[in-house]
Amino acid sequence: MQSAFKNLSGFIDRDRNFQASVNDDILVQQQNISNVIIETLPLDCKELYMNGKRKSGVYTIYPWERSDPNYRPVQVYCDMETEGGGWTAIQRRINGEENFNRSWTEYKFGFGTPYGDYWIGNDAIHQLANGRNLSLHVTITPLKDGFVSFKTYDHFYVFGEDQNYTLQLANPGNGNFKNDALLEGHDRYKPIGMQFSTFDVDNDNYYRNCAAVYLGGWWFNRCHNAYLTGPWQSDKWRNPWYPQYTSGRHVNGTSMLIKSH
């Protein structure tokens, strides 16, 4: 009887050891799967493009690492066709359904839908730009003929909220606008080196609040020769891209696309 009990006890111990080994293997596999998921979460549309995504549309990206307290997935529109594809839309207007005269907090976190009109959020723009070399591709679609005007810049950077999302923009590239309304013209209208302004936070160089006057958040100076956030298809949207587009009444779409290089 004692011998049988020892045999049974040994069998139980071996079974426990086997089960523990199996559990350890399962935990290792789960960790490996988790690591793979973490490693393959796309940072932006360019990573999606490099991983074989070739169709323009709405995708989910992950600008922040999981360990970052700001971590969250972000839905964006990816342009997979323009100039080699892989462009992340940080601003897009196609139907006028979204009001861009929004508060500082709304511009900070973003608003709208990537299926239509939206602003990705200034925190997300900074995170996508931080530590990377980005290009900016700006487009305006006119109401009359639909022939898209565009301009590309090979240096684009936005600082964090501690510097009020100050804009850096340089190295103009190809385009078909009649002029460069962002970098050319009088210095007092250029957005370069300007902090972001909204109707409730005034960081411009004008004696009034440009964002409140022109009804949209932007990197205003005194005030602007270009801005893409005015009241949709309205004469109140002054100089979307001066002098080619002097009124938003003539504009049927805009976009701001970024891509690392």
Q: What is the CATH number of the domain that holds 173?
A: 3.90.215.10
Closest C-alpha to 200, from 185, 190, 188, 215:
215
Residues 20 and 118 in one domain: no
CA pair distance 26, 52, nearest whole angstrom: 31
Cα 176 from Cα 17, distance rounded (Å): 71
**CA-to-CA distance for 105 and 64, rounded, in angstroms?**
19
- pLDDT tier at 17 (50, 70, 90 boundaries)? low
Regarding whether 176 and 147 lie in a shared domain, the answer is: yes
Q: In this predicted model, what pLDDT tens digit does every residue of 18-70 receive, in sequence order?
A: 565 545 555 545 554 444 444 579 999 999 999 999 999 999 999 999 999 99
Residue 58 and residue 168 in one domain: yes
Instruction: Provide the token pair at 24.
Output: 């350890």
**Interior/surface letters 204-240, b for 16+ CB within 10 angstroms, e for the rest:** bebeebbbeebbbbbbbbbbbbbbbbbbbeeebbbbb
Measured CA to CA, the distance from residue 24 to residue 47 in angstroms comes to 33
- Same domain for 18 and 55? no
- Residue 179 belongs to domain spanning: 42-260
Residues 158 and 87 in one domain: yes
Count of CA atoms in the C-beta half-sphere (13 A) of 2: 0
Phi/psi at 45 (nearest 5 deg)? Answer: -70, -25
pLDDT at 13 exceeding the cut of 90: no
Same domain, residue pair 82 and 198: yes
- How far, in whole angstroms, is CA 167 from its chain's centroid? 14
Same domain, 30 and 121: no
- Same domain for 81 and 6, yes or no, is no
**Quick one: pLDDT at residue 77?**
99
Question: Which residue type is seen at 261?
Answer: H
Residue 210, both tokens: 């440009």
For residue 163, the 8-state DSSP code is G
Q: What is the domain count for the chain? A: 2
Q: What is the pLDDT of residues 79-124, one digit of tens each?
A: 999 999 999 999 999 999 999 999 999 999 999 999 999 999 999 9
- Quick check: helix, strand or coil at residue 207? coil
In the block, tokens 């969250």 appear at 72
Same-domain status, 22 and 98: no
On whether both 92 and 186 belong to a single domain, the answer is: yes
Q: Are 249 and 231 in contact (CB under 8 A)?
A: no
Same domain, 242 and 193: yes
Contact 251, 141 (CB under 8 A): yes
CA distance 257 to 125: 11
pTM: 0.85
77 and 98, same structural domain? yes
Q: What is the residue-wise DSSP string for 12-66?
A: HHHHHHHHHHHHHHHHHHHHHHHHHHHHHS-SSHHHHHHTT--S-EEEEE--S-T
CA proximity to 202, closest of 176, 175, 181, 220: 220
